[in-house]
Amino acid sequence: MYAVIQFVEAYGLWVAFFAVLLDQGGLPIPSYGVVIVTAAIAVNSHESIPALVLVALLAVLIADVVWFYGGRRYGGRLLRLVCRLSLSPDSCVNLTRRTYARFGAPSLILAKYVPGFSAVATTLAGEAGTSLRRFVLFDTIGATLWVLGAVALGIVFNDAVEAVLDRLETLGHLATALLLGGFALYLAVRWWQRRQFMIRIRMARITPDELHQLLSSSTPPIVLDVRIPATRAREGWIPGSIAVTPTDEHNSDRSLQIVVYCDCPNDASAAVAARRLQERGFMHVRPLAGGFDSWRDRGLPIQGPLSS
């Protein structure tokens, strides 16, 4: 453990940089705590605090700009990767879309303090077509507040952090095992939460080709679109689909077939809405496998902007 503390004292700026870069890059790394500890060690060893702030801020902005451009180019496909890397429930994508659609780029100021929002907000900013200048402005404000908050905690509680580090040092190899065990537990809890969510939305899907055939039949299903209005207006929609929110009440005949679609990873929002409809007594409800992206990629009919 003493060697670890010495390493942080000698390479604290690099430790903070890579911890923050990996965390903001999507990996479930508790970098906020790393910055707090690094700041406390910097105070006690008389290292430069401004340098730590600049290094951590640079790491945040590098990661965020990469996700921003990725979102602009790959959109929803990249969001699936973000959710897997961060172990965030896939439903966070639609919630973040609605939040971003309501508040726009200023929502980035507080994004890093909201669980599930930070992981996908920068990608969504690119997907939504936010200008680079506007994105950098609000993202820099949010990143600065986030970094300064962690550094301030390290400075204020540097004595407490030092006492904890001293205690860990006396425990020797046991301290290292405890830290690794704590990190493993953190990952296990995040993984378990995601697994429980995936179990909850596990149900039979309908493929785009199957839905296309049903829409041409004498008894077409009701098709519900739970994407945000801005996305529906920008990308178009499946012909005849009804725009709703995942929590809207629906008063159709409960024996009718209903198909729900979204554009989020693993059809999460559509599956959540379908599950709620099932709980209210609708007997034939299925999410669309692959959502709107899959329908569009199959070259099936689309109404709205893309049909013109």
Q: According to the model, what pLDDT value does residue 76 have? A: 67
Rounded CA separation 35/17 (Å)? 9
Q: Single out the residue in 200, 221, 237 at which a domain terminates.
A: 200
- The CATH number for 271's domain is 3.40.250.10
State percent of the chain over pLDDT 70.
82
Q: Do 133 and 241 fall within a single domain?
A: no
Q: Single out the residue in 200, 219, 236 at which a domain terminates.
A: 200
| Beta carbons within 10 angstroms of residue 244's beta carbon | 15
Q: Do 124 and 260 fall within a single domain?
A: no
Q: Do 89 and 173 fall within a single domain?
A: yes
Q: Do 172 and 262 fall within a single domain?
A: no
Q: Do 53 and 178 fall within a single domain?
A: yes
| Beta carbons within 10 angstroms of residue 285's beta carbon | 28
- The tally of domains found in the chain comes to 2
Residue with the two structure tokens 């996700």: 67
Residue with the two structure tokens 């299903």: 221
Q: Do 166 and 103 fall within a single domain?
A: yes
Range of the domain at 51: 2-200
Q: Do 220 and 167 fall within a single domain?
A: no
- pLDDT (mean) for 205-225: 92
- pLDDT (mean) for 78-93: 63
The pTM of the full predicted model, rounded to 2 decimals, is 0.65
Q: Do 245 and 294 fall within a single domain?
A: yes
Q: According to the model, what pLDDT value does residue 288 have? A: 93
| 255-286: pLDDT as tens digits | 788 999 988 777 888 888 888 888 888 888 99
Rounded CA separation 135/106 (Å)? 9
| Mean confidence (pLDDT) of the chain | 82
DSSP 75: T
Q: Do 36 and 149 fall within a single domain?
A: yes
The radius of gyration of the chain from alpha carbons, rounded to an integer in Å, stands at 23
Q: Which two tokens stand for residue 9?
A: 């004292």
Rounded CA separation 199/84 (Å)? 15
State percent of the chain over pLDDT 90.
28
| 121-177: pLDDT as tens digits | 888 888 878 899 999 999 999 999 999 999 999 999 888 887 777 776 676 667 667
Question: Above 80 in pLDDT, residue 178?
Answer: no
Most confidently predicted of 121-125, 181-185, 302-306: 121-125
- pLDDT (mean) for 90-107: 73
Burial 66-88 (b: 16+ CB within 10 A, else e): bbbbbbbeebbebbbebbeebbb
- pLDDT (mean) for 181-203: 76
DSSP calls for 139-179? HHHHHHHHHHHHHHHHHHTHHHHHHHHHHHHHHTHHHHHHH
Q: Do 78 and 172 fall within a single domain?
A: yes
Q: Do 159 and 33 fall within a single domain?
A: yes
Q: Single out the residue in 143, 171, 200 at which a domain terminates.
A: 200
Q: Do 55 and 140 fall within a single domain?
A: yes
Question: Above 50 in pLDDT, residue 308?
Answer: no
Rounded CA separation 52/72 (Å)? 30
